[in-house]
Amino acid sequence: MARPLRIEYPGALYHITSRGNERRNIFLDDADRMKFLEILKDYHDRFGILIHSYVLMNNHYHLILETPKGNLLKVMHAVNSNYTGYFNRRYERTGHLFQGRYKGILVDKDEYLVGLSIYVHLNPVRARMVEKPEQYRWSSYPSFIDKAKEHKWLEYSWVLTKFGKDKKTAQRKYSEVTEKRMNEKMKSPMKDVCGQVILGGDNFIENIKVLLKGKSISCDIPERKRLMKNPSADEIISKVAETFKVSDEQIRNKQSRNNMARKAAIYLVQRYSGLSNLEISKLFGGLHYSAVSKASARLRSELEQDKRLFKTLNRLNSHFKA
């Protein structure tokens, strides 16, 4: 199983899903569900987290969770471990309750929180457990539309204020929009997830890539290349020119033959910029796009024979990995 990436920072918002091992039920009766909500309340107070929405299904749960202190790993370990201990004691069992690691998707709060809240609340309807979301007791939806059912440990204001300043009006409009999305068969926001771990607009994704720069991203992470902040081709060429003590123009000029700096630049641009071979070919004087891969292959062969060149390329590699 691919290892999920964990991105932590103060104020991060996540959509959390955790499933039962072998898809078995993790809630067998209402007492189990009440216990899980007690745990959420306890850790809301203890770790200073904000819980925007939740739904407890039979064999999994969804949380929209914000961590002002940037402590997701600690919070989720505590929640799942505490509930597993309770469940095992109650049912006289041992071993894992949850299926591997929980799934945590980092969410762009401004762009996706409202839609994601509605999506989470409609889970019981999509599963055909109820006809309307307010009929399902074990989600935060009833408390979103009825003040009498509110939990003090739930965060309602951020979502509801998007629907109006007056709370009653906001609750009514939230209910209307949710019902409309239900009837329209709402598109899953999860289809917009980047690299299976980030849900957000282009600027948000780019900011996260900057945050990840310099950190090692496991090869086990799905679509890891999409999460890496790529250096620009111009940046790479300038750094190579500085290292080899030549001009940018000497590197870009197609007429420059046996130019080691040019070969190194082509190799590094192909490796780190994220550009296609056709795009790279245009940067280097319009050589044929197939020549880009051939030039990189030739340089790799030369690295095996030239120790000095090998050390130089290693220094450059270290610069662009950082």
DSSP string, 75-112: HHHHHHHHHHHHHHHHTT--S--B-SSPEEEEE-HHHH
For the domain 12-226, what is the CATH superfamily, name and number?
Transposase IS200-like (3.30.70.1290)
Distance CA 273, CA 279 (A): 10
Query: Are the CB atoms for 209 and 150 separated by under 8 Å?
Result: no
Query: Are the CB atoms for 121 and 56 separated by under 8 Å?
Result: no
Q: Write the CA distances from 193 to 19, 160, 178, 216, integer angstroms.
A: 19, 24, 21, 21
Tens-digit pLDDT string for the chain (322 aa)? 445 557 888 999 999 999 999 899 999 999 999 999 999 999 998 999 999 999 999 999 999 999 999 999 999 999 999 999 999 999 999 999 999 889 999 999 999 999 999 999 999 999 999 999 999 999 999 999 998 899 999 999 999 999 998 999 999 999 999 999 988 877 788 888 887 788 988 888 888 877 776 554 443 344 444 445 567 889 899 998 999 999 988 888 877 666 888 888 888 888 777 677 888 888 888 778 788 888 888 888 888 788 888 888 888 877 776 5
Three-state DSSP state, 198: strand
Q: How many CB atoms lie within 10 A of CB 155?
A: 18
Residue 228: partners with Cβ closer than 8 Å, 6 or more residues away: 209, 212, 213, 217
The strand pairing partners of 55, in sequence order, are: 62, 139
Residue 86: partners with Cβ closer than 8 Å, 6 or more residues away: 35, 39
Q: How many residues does the chain have?
A: 322
Sorted by where each begins, the domain ranges of the chain are 12-226, 230-321
Burial environment of residue 26 by CB neighbours within 10 A (0 to 12, 13 to 18, 19 or more): buried
Please identify which residue in the block is written with the tokens 């929640």.
79
Distance CA 199, CA 178 (A): 20
At residue 53, what are phi and psi to the nearest 5 degrees?
-160, 155
- In CATH, the architecture of 230-321 is Orthogonal Bundle (1.10)
pTM: 0.67
Please identify which residue in the block is written with the tokens 């019902």.
179
Q: Count CA within 13 A, CB hemisphere, residue 105.
A: 25
The strand pairing partners of 50, in sequence order, are: 66
Query: Are the CB atoms for 14 and 112 separated by under 8 Å?
Result: no
